[in-house]
Amino acid sequence: MNYLGRRLIRTVLLLVGVSVLCFLFTEMAPGSFFDDMRVNPQISPETIAMLRSHYGLDQPLIVRYGRWVKSALHADLGYSIAYNVPVAPLLWGRAQNTLLLSVTAMLLTWLIAVPLGVWTAARRGKALDKTTSIGVSLLVAIPEVVIAVALLAIAVRWRVLPIGGMKSEDLDGLPLWVRIKDIAEHMLLPVIVLTLVDSALVVRHVRAAVLEILEAPFVQATRGFGISRSRVLFRHVLPAAANPAISLFGLSLAGLLSGSLLVEVICGWPGLGPLILDATLSRDFYMVVGGIMVSTIFMLGGNLIADIVLTVIDPRIRTGAPDAL
Amino acid sequence: MPSSLTTDVSSSNPLLRVKALCKHYVRGHVWKKRVSIQAINQVNFEIAAGHTLALVGTSGSGKSTVARCITRLERPETGHIWIEGTDIARLGSRELSPFRRAIQMIFQDAITSMNPRFSAAEVIEEPLLIQGRSRAERREIAEALIQDVALSPGWLDRSVMEFSGGQRQRLAIARALTLQPRLLVLDEALSGLDLSTQAQIANLLLDLQSKRCLTYLLISHEMGLVARMADTVAVMANGQIVESGDLEQVLTDPQHMETKNLLASVKVTELKLAAGAPS
C-alpha cells in the first residue's frame, strides 16, 4: 500500500479513537445538563427522566455511541439539549465565524513570518536578527491570554476599536462595503492577537530551518563555486527548508478551528470558542462531542494536507529515504 | 618559533602561498559571556603547482579552518592567501569569483555535501551555470567528467541518493573538476570510506593529478593516506603549524611531540608500504 493510503487509514483510525475517548471522557465528567433542573422543586423527577429518555441519555454509552456514529456518517452530530436544535447547523454557523477569523490571521501570519524568518536567518547576528529574536522570544513567553487582555485594555482605554461581537447593530440597509468595513474593524483585535502569537512561532521555526540548511555542507559547497547568494537561497536553501515549514503549515491548518477558541472567548467573537465553552460548562453532551469532533477533523485534515504536499514536493518521503532532510 | 615554520617546498613561484593567516571565532550571545577562540594563529605554508601538501593534526587543531579560509568560505582576520600571485584574503565576493574557480574543496561527507534533491547531472552541471554554458554543453562536460571519475554516464540522471558513499565521493570529485580548478582542497575527503574504497579514490586522485597537473592540499589525520599521497607535510597543533618538511623527513625523523603521537598510531612498515618504500 502506498504512503498516502497508509496515511488515510491512520487518519480514519485516529478519528474513531478520538470519538470513542470523547464519548468516554464526556460521560465520565461529573454532573449533567439536568443537575440544575434537579434542584428546581417545580420540575419533577419524572419530567427529568422523560427528558433524559427523549434525548436518548438513558441508554447505555455503547448504544448511544453506535447511534451517534450511524447518524454522524450522515452529517448529523446529534441534538443540542441547551439550544434545542441539531448540533451540526449550529456548529457550522459558528465555525464559519471562527474560520473567517482564523483564516485571516493565518494568511497574515504566513505572509509576515516566512519572509521575516528567511530574512533574519540570512542576516544572522545583525541588528534586524537580534531585534526580531528579542521580540519573538517575548511573544512566545507571554501567554496569548495576557496579550489579548492587554490589547483589549488598550482598545477600551483609547476607544480605537469596537469591542466584542462580530458586527455593529443597525447595519441593515447600509452598503455592502460599510458592512464589510464594520466586520473588519470588529475582527482587527482578535486577528492582531492571533497573528502576533502565531507569527512568533512561525518566525522561529522558519529561521531555525533556514539556518540549519545554510550551515549544511551542500550549501557551503555551492558557495564555493561562486554561485550568487540569491541562487543559493532560492535553489538550495528554501526548497530544503520548506519541509519543516510545510509541516508547521499543516499544524496551522489543523488549528484553524481550535487555535482561536481562547481569543474568541476573551474578545467576545461569536465563533466556536464561546459555544464550546458554554456547552462544556452546561454539560450539553452532543454539542461538546460535536465541537471536539469538528476540531479533530480539521486537525487531522490539516496534517493530511501537509503530508500530501510534502510527498508531492519531496519524493524521498514517498520512498522513505532515511536521510530525507 | 613554531608560528614562523614553513614547509620545505622551495618553489620560486608556488601555486598557493599562505602567510600569517589568523582566524578566531566568537562564541556566546546576549545572555552568555562572549568568548574569543583562536582557531588558527600565524599559519604559513606554500604548495608548488602539481604537488600535494598534507596538513595533518588531531581533531580541533585548526586544519579545517585553514581549508575554509583558503576556499574563502571563511574570511580570515589577518594574513595573506596568494593564489598564483594574487592575494585573495581580503577580496570581496565579486572580485573573488574568478579565484573560486581555481580553488575547489571536497568535503569529508559526500552524502551531505550534495543537495539530496538533485540528480548527478544537476550536481556536476551546477557550477557551469555561472559560466552561462548552454544545456547541451553542460551535459557534454558532465558526461566527460563522470567518465573521468570512473562512473557511467548512464547514471547522470539518477538521484544522488542512489549512489553509494564511494560513488558519491567520485561524484564530488567530478563536481569539483567542473570549473577546471588548479587547487583541490581535500578536507578529510577519504576519511569516511572503507579501506578498499579509500585506496581506489586515492589512486583516482593521483591519476587525475598527473593528467591535469592538479595541486592538492590534503587535510587528514590518517598518516597512512598521507604517506601514500603527499609530497610535503605540515603538522598542526593548537591552531599553529608545529612541524613541516618533506614527507620522508617528517615520517622518519619527527621532531615535535604532536608528529610523534600521530605517527605512533600507525606502524612504520605500513607507512613505508603506503609511500612505496621498501620495508
DSSP class per residue in A17-48: HHHHHHHHHHHHSS--TTHHHHT-TTS-HHHH
Which residues of chain B make contact with A321, given a CB cutoff of 8 A? 116, 161
Q: Do A226 and B104 count as a contact with CB atoms less than 8 A apart?
A: no
Is the pLDDT at B37 greater than 80, yes or no?
A: yes
pLDDT at B3: 41
Q: Do A226 and B101 count as a contact with CB atoms less than 8 A apart?
A: yes
**Which amino acid appears at position A231 of this protein?**
R
Residue with cell 482578535: A190
Which residues of chain A make contact with B130, given a CB cutoff of 8 A? 225-228
DSSP string, A275-305: HHHHHHHTT-HHHHHHHHHHHHHHHHHHHHH
pLDDT at A324: 42
Give the chain A residue nearest B101 (alpha carbons).
A225
Q: Tell whether B216 lies on the interface with A, counting CB pairs under 8 A.
A: no
Give the chain A residue nearest B179 (alpha carbons).
A225
pTM over 0.80: no
Quickly state the pLDDT bin for B67 (edges 50, 70, 90): very high
Closest CA to B45 of B169, B215, B205: B215
Q: Provide the residue ranges of all domains of chain B, joining segments of one domain with +.
A: 16-275
Mutate to test the interface with A, among B115, B119, B141, B158 (most CBs of A within 10 A): B115
Q: How many CA atoms lie within 13 A of B6 on its CB side?
A: 16
Domains of chain A: 97-270 (1.10.3720.10)
CATH superfamily for domain B16-275: P-loop containing nucleotide triphosphate hydrolases (3.40.50.300)
Shortest Cα distance, chain B CAs vs residue A304, angstroms: 23
Q: Do B73 and A227 count as a contact with CB atoms less than 8 A apart?
A: no
* Tally of CB atoms within 10 A around A247: 16
DSSP string, chain B: -GGG---S---SS-SEEEEEEEEEEEEEETTEEEEEEEEEEEEEEEE-TT-EEEEE--TTSSHHHHHHHHTTSS--SEEEEEETTEE-TT--HHHHHHHHHHEEEE-S-TTTTS-TTSBHHHHHHHHHHTTT--HHHHHHHHHHHHHHTT--GGGTTSBGGGS-HHHHHHHHHHHHHTT--SEEEEESTTTTS-HHHHHHHHHHHHHHHHHHT-EEEEEES-HHHHHHH-SEEEEEETTEEEEEEEHHHHHHS--SHHHHHHHHTS-HHHHHHHHT---
Q: Do B107 and A236 count as a contact with CB atoms less than 8 A apart?
A: no
pLDDT at B244: 92
Q: Tell whether B74 lies on the interface with A, counting CB pairs under 8 A.
A: no
DSSP A271: S
A218 → closest Cβ in B30, B97, B113:
B113
Quickly state the pLDDT bin for B90 (edges 50, 70, 90): confident
Q: What is the rounded distance in angstroms from the CA atom of residue A251 to the CA atom of residue B163?
A: 35
Q: Which residues contact B26 (CB under 8 A, 6 or more apart)?
A: B34, B35, B36, B37
Which residues of chain B make contact with A323, given a CB cutoff of 8 A? 111, 116, 161
Residue A84's region, left for phi above 0, alpha for psi from -120 to 50, else beta, is left
pLDDT at B29: 63
**Strand partners of residue B186:** B106, B218
Quickly state the pLDDT bin for B274 (edges 50, 70, 90): low
Mutate to test the interface with B, among A225, A237, A311 (most CBs of B within 10 A): A225
- By mean pLDDT, which of A293-297, B31-35, B61-65 is the weakest? B31-35
**Which amino acid appears at position A150 of this protein?**
A
Q: Is B88 exposed, middle or buried (0-12, 13-18, 19+ CB in 10 A)?
A: buried
Chain A interface with B: residues with Cβ < 8 Å? 130, 216-218, 220-229, 231, 236, 239-240, 314, 316, 321, 323-325
Closest CA to B47 of B236, B232, B202: B232
CB A273 within 8 Å of CB A260: yes
Handedness of CA A22, A25, A28, A30 (dihedral sign): negative
pLDDT along chain A (325 residues), means of 10: 81 92 86 76 82 82 90 88 89 91 93 93 88 92 91 87 82 82 91 92 93 87 81 86 83 78 89 89 88 86 81 67 46
Is the pLDDT at B276 greater than 60, yes or no?
A: no
Q: What is the rounded distance in angstroms from the CA atom of residue B43 to the CA atom of residue B36?
A: 18
Is the pLDDT at B231 greater than 90, yes or no?
A: yes
Q: Do B107 and A221 count as a contact with CB atoms less than 8 A apart?
A: yes
- By mean pLDDT, which of A226-230, A271-275, B14-18, B231-235 is the weakest? A226-230
- By mean pLDDT, which of A170-174, B46-50, B75-79 is the weakest? A170-174
Is the pLDDT at B240 greater than 90, yes or no?
A: yes
Q: Do B117 and A323 count as a contact with CB atoms less than 8 A apart?
A: no
Which residues of chain A make contact with B97, given a CB cutoff of 8 A? 226
Q: Do A323 and B73 count as a contact with CB atoms less than 8 A apart?
A: no
pLDDT at A216: 85
ipTM of the modeled complex = 0.73
Residue A59's region, left for phi above 0, alpha for psi from -120 to 50, else beta, is beta
The mean per-residue pLDDT over the stretch B75-90 comes to 91
